[in-house]
Chains A and B, each alone.
Chain A
Amino acid sequence: MKRLLVWTFAFVVGAAIAAPPDPALDARLKKLDDELRCLVCQNQSLADSSAPLAQDLRREVRSLADAGKSDAEIKAFLVARYGDFVLYKPPVKSTTWLLWFGPFILLAGGAVVWWSVSRRRGRRSGVEGESIDATAVTAGVERARALLNDPRE
C-alpha cells in the first residue's frame, strides 16, 4: 500500500514536471482552436467539438505550437490539408470576393434604390400636396366667410 502511494506520488510529481502548466499558451491555443472549424461536426469549432478528429487536431495544434510555430503557420498547416474550410474566417481572395464584398454591393444597390424611390416620391408628393392644400384652405376660408356673412344665419 505504501509502495503504491509512493509510486502514485512519484507519478503525479513526474507528470507535473513533464508538463508545466502554461496559462499563456493555453489561452493562445484556446483562441486558435476557436477560430478553426471541426470537419466532423461542421458547426462547431475545434475548441468546442469532442469528435475524435477534433481531439487529434487540437493535439496537433498544440504540438505545432510547442515546436514554436506561429498562429499563421499553424493555420497554413491545416489549410494545406483540409482547405479554407477549416477557417471560420475565410481569406480574401478571388474566389471569395463575392462572399466578402457581395453584401456591401447589395447594401449599396439597396441604398441607390431607396434614394431614387424616395426622391421621386418626395418630388411628386411635395408638388401635388402643396397645391391641393392651398386650394382646400382657400375654399374652406371662403366658405366660412360666406357662412359668417350670410344674413339668414
Chain B
Amino acid sequence: MKSLRLLVPLVIFVVIAGFLYVGLGRDPREVPSPLVGKPAPAFTLAQLHDPGQKLSTADMKGQVWLLNVWASWCVSCRVEHPLLVQLAQAKVVPVIGLNYKDKVPEGLAWLAQNGDPYKLSVVDADGRVGIDWGVYGVPETFVVDKNGVIRYKHIGPVTAEALQQTILPLVRELQKA
C-alpha cells in the first residue's frame, strides 16, 4: 500500500507528460471546422473565366467534388498547385476553385502561368463566401459528397501524403456511396 502511494506522483507525471507530448506534435493553426458533417454553405458566384456565367453549389449535387480555396497572392498555393494539376489530369474528382479575395485579371494570369487544374473557378472578391465556409487561411480544401455535405477539410497546402492517404480514399468511398 505504501509503495503504491509512492507511485502516484509518477503516474501523474506520466499522464501530464503524455498530454504535453501529444500537444507538442499538434499544429495550433489547425482549427477543426464545425462545418465537417454539415451541408456545404450555399453560394452562387460568377465564374472566373466567364463572369456572365454563374455556378451555384446546387449545380454540384449528385457528385463528389472538391472546393479548393486559392488566390494569386497566396504563396503556399504555389506549393500545392502542381499536385492539383496532377489530380486534374487523373480526372478522379472535379475540383472547383474558389478564387478568394483576388482580382480577376491577376487570378486569370496566375492560372495561365501555373496551369489550371479547376473544372472552373468562381470569384469570391470580398471573401463573403469564404466566411460562410469558415475559411481563415488560404489554401484550404473541402471534400463535398453527393448530397452536398462537407466531409473533410484540409487546411493549408495539400501534400502528396494527405492526398494519397486521406483525401483520395475518402473521395473513392464517397463516390461508391
- Using CB atoms and an 8 Å cutoff, list the residues of chain A in contact with chain B: 39-40, 42, 52-53, 56-57, 60, 79-85
Contact = CB atoms under 8 A, between A and B. Distances in A.
Contact of B31 (A53, A60, A80, A82): A82
B136 A83 contact: no
B5 to A, nearest CB: 11
A83 B131 CA distance: 12
Contacts of A80: 34-35
Contacts of B35: 80-81
Contacts of A83: 31-34, 134
B133 A81 contact: yes
Contact of A39 (B101, B126, B133, B136): B136
Contacts of A53: 127, 136
Nearest to B31: A85
A80 B132 CA distance: 9
Nearest to B132: A81
Nearest to B134: A81
B137 interface: yes
Contacts of B32: 83, 85
Contacts of B133: 81
A40 B131 CA distance: 13
Listed from nearest, the 3 A-B pairs whose CB atoms lie closest are A39-B136, A81-B134, A83-B34
B150 to A, nearest CB: 12
Contact of B131 (A42, A56, A84): A56
B134 A82 contact: yes
A57 B132 CA distance: 11
B15 to A, nearest CB: 12
19 contacts: A39-B137, A40-B137, A42-B28, A52-B101, A52-B127, A53-B127, A56-B130, A60-B131, A79-B34, A81-B34, A81-B132, A81-B133, A81-B134, A82-B34, A82-B134, A82-B136, A83-B33, A85-B31, A85-B32
A81 B40 CA distance: 11
Contacts of B31: 39, 82-83, 85
B99 to A, nearest CB: 15
A81 B130 CA distance: 10
Nearest to A80: B34
A33 to B, nearest CB: 15
A69 to B, nearest CB: 15
A80 B133 CA distance: 9
B23 to A, nearest CB: 13
